[in-house]
Amino acid sequence: MKKEDQVLMGFRDLYNKIVWLNKNKMEDSLKGYTSSEVHCIEYIEKNADSNVTKLAESFYMTRGAISKLTQKLIKKGLIESYQKSDNKKEIYFRLTAQGKVIDKIHEDLHKEFQERDKAVFEQVTEEQFDSMLSFVEKYSRHLDAVIKKQGLDMKSE
């Protein structure tokens, strides 16, 4: 097998493992909240004026799904929506006090994960970090270009 395949498959397996493990741990610690809900809360806290469309693009999900998710979070009292005086279409979100509590717990959990994996990262040299970061950025930019090109292609079909 080619090394690029090994890398991609290795990443896939590693990523799935991390997601599975952290999801289990999180839904165990934050009972009553799914990992989707918590990630949504995290994003809203970190990004001012986030709305359905931005959340959907960031999570590679449909607007429909995000719309339902945010409505649920509003019903649960974790986020609230607001609008700006010069735009009656876009609807933005921010955390409520209760939402901030959840975000804080999630943040602590995140630190716990870091602690759990510290041994692995301690072995990584600065050069390795930079090398991986540069790879990720290059690849990501490349795919953005592909997506952009494809977007144009789709219109012409």
Partner DNA sequence: TCGACTTTGTTTCCTTGTCAACAAAATGGC
Partner DNA sequence: GCCATTTTGTTGACAAGGAAACAAAGTCGA
- In whole angstroms, the minimum distance from the beta carbon of 154 to a copy of itself comes to 10
Residue the block writes with tokens 């945010």: 70
Question: What is the enclosing helix (H) or strand (E) of 89?
Answer: strand 87-95
By C-beta, is 60 or 121 nearer to DNA? 60
- In whole angstroms, the minimum distance from the beta carbon of 110 to a copy of itself comes to 9
Binding site for DNA (CB under 7 A): 34, 36, 51-53, 60-65, 67-72, 86-92
- Give buried/exposed letters for 80-109 (b at 16+ CB in 10 A, else e): eeeeeeeeeeeebbebbeebeebbeebeeb
| Interaction partner, residue 111 (DNA, a copy of itself, none; CB < 5-8 Å by kind) | none
| Interaction partner, residue 38 (a copy of itself, DNA, none; CB < 5-8 Å by kind) | none
